[in-house]
A and B are shown apart, each in its own frame.
Chain A
């Protein structure tokens, strides 16, 4: 269904790909070397998705396809001062700039013994067994153009490995910086997080911009949650409103594992999050929550797919959105219960608050159930603030703007309150206080 690249488009990407391979410092294991080529071929076949593609019906990535992105950009500099707003005290820190890991800006001391936290390029050389077992084993190159593109240009990103029984107390803060250049650039961070049996770790991914300008950041992150492992993950999409962001987040859940993620989006011009969770071990539990707040002409698209493969697994999804101006939001949530996945308990909710008559939301929860003893619920709402509630607050002396802001904050608060990493919660709160009219009153009142 997708349009193949135009001849000139293909030519450009072929040239970029050649340059990329020429400059590639670490090719990695043979499988990866080959994979780049097959992935590139696949990308050329698929082309960028168009709105005729069912999965991209409401998200037009033509601006990305049209942008003459340079894909072989040189490593860019960032200073500690640039990073200060994203530097979370008490956290280990890994910094990636335009897709390349920057050890000088990273802070890795104090991690428990055996934990590996490094650039993916390093891992290609130094941890071939993990790379062989897990890298590019889960994300779907065949079907997803952006995964194919990312895999073709696979070079660097973050590798995190937590051995068996190890509990990482400090959250790991991954700062993915976009550093725009004179011409639009594209980069493809590739991350692999592996938590072995009965280990535990908290991860924060911040996607940020230092400077101004347009670019494409198209990461693929594969997460392996081992048996009985616990991962608490946060993603903050806070890039400039000129940035394009197309991310794939692929999570494999082992037996009795517990994976929880909160994905917060307020940045970017076009943001697409593909989140795929595969519950393959019995008794696994996945929590996938999100909050998006967009304005102007921003578009945010959260595409969720949860595969219940094994029996006795739970999944909970709660995504909430606040749309202002002419902003657009897309939510697509598929829960697919495989044959044999009995006693599945899956719940999915998407709620949207439209703050302006020009804002638009397309919400599509879907269930595909091939087992008979399951509990699956889904629901989605698109609405406005409750006039009675606004009036109630005003009748106590609160001004109209403040009343509306308070209720908007309250709408978001059940996501805010679930965030366990203090710095993430504080940054989100501060963002809301800044964004909402009369935010100072909200700050006092919550």
Chain B
């Protein structure tokens, strides 16, 4: 069964339409990459999937595991296995990273009829996941993202993902601003978690990430629409030519000024 089915999705913020009819299907085990120029609506798509109420869905549908995703509160989505790594992770002073994760994991486990993890089991489990993303133990006990460097924040998002064990992971530019070592860590994290049941939607600006996380499909989002889909070759083509040719193509085939 299709895991995620997005049909003709329209979304706006502050009265401005951002997504103008997105269609996308994702099956278990697949990795989809979404690329596109600045401001094309990539983050909006990610935020709508995670349930950010700032964005109003004006038309279209999203089915997740056959359920109407748009009817679900953000926390329900998370408990059902949707995870979104934020392009700009939020600093939460006063809330410890590790205790917060424990509360989150236990909320998810309770929802899945699993026992809550006690402190000891949780620590063992978390240590294992930390190794996966080469997280510094010190970051565990600090408040969530507070005072983290850009790279540490992105790594922390991957760490959260690893701990929360999602069904569908949406990564919004988790590679942006990373040096090559950090990029490899992020990619390794994703590759280790890749399996037949899990799916990834990887949003990126740069083709480079896709050398490390090899996608099954690549989509190009321009001005709120997917204008082209292909395999990983498409990413290489974009790398070479930039987005301009696609934007021109789209512009040419559509009436201007709509």
Contacts and interface: CB of A to CB of B under 8 A. Distances in A.
Contact of B96 (A394, A411, A445): A445
B120 interface: no
Interface of A: 386-389, 391-400, 402-403, 406-407, 409-414, 441, 444-446
B89 interface: yes
A445 B90 CA distance: 17
Given A396-B78, A397-B78, 12 more contacts: A391-B50, A391-B74, A394-B51, A397-B79, A397-B104, A398-B100, A398-B103, A402-B103, A414-B93, A444-B99, A446-B95, A446-B99
A409 B103 CA distance: 15
A374 B121 CA distance: 55
Which size class do B's interface residues fall under?
35 or more
Contacts, number: 97
Residue of A394, A402, A407, A414 ringed by the most chain B CB atoms within 10 A: A394
Nearest to A414: B94
Nearest to B75: A394
Contacts of B52: 391, 395
A406 B107 CA distance: 14
B205 interface: no
Interface of B: 50-54, 73-75, 77-79, 83-84, 86, 89-90, 92-96, 99-108, 111, 143, 160, 164
Nearest to A403: B75
Nearest to B84: A395
Contacts of A389: 90, 92
29 contacts: A386-B90, A387-B53, A387-B54, A389-B90, A391-B51, A391-B54, A391-B74, A393-B100, A394-B51, A394-B74, A395-B83, A396-B100, A396-B104, A396-B160, A397-B78, A397-B108, A397-B111, A398-B75, A398-B100, A400-B73, A402-B103, A402-B107, A407-B92, A410-B92, A411-B94, A445-B96, A445-B102, A445-B103, A446-B95
Contact of B75 (A399, A409, A413, A445): A399
Given A414-B93, A414-B94, A446-B95, A394 B103 contact: no
Contact of A446 (B73, B94, B164): B94
Given A396-B78, A400-B75, A413 B93 contact: yes
Contacts of B92: 389, 392-393, 406-407, 410
B156 to A, nearest CB: 11
Nearest to A440: B103
Contacts of A412: 94
Residue of A391, A406, A409 ringed by the most chain B CB atoms within 10 A: A391
A395 B99 contact: no
Nearest to A389: B90
A395 B50 contact: yes
B171 to A, nearest CB: 13
B51 A444 contact: no
A441 B103 contact: yes
Nearest to B116: A444
Nearest to B86: A392
A407 B53 CA distance: 18
Contacts of B74: 391, 394-395
Contacts of B96: 445-446
Nearest to B110: A397
Considering the complex of A and B, which 3 residue pairs feature the smallest CB-CB distances, nearest first?
A: A410-B94, A413-B94, A397-B78
A410 B99 contact: no
Contacts of A395: 50-52, 74-75, 77-78, 83-84, 86
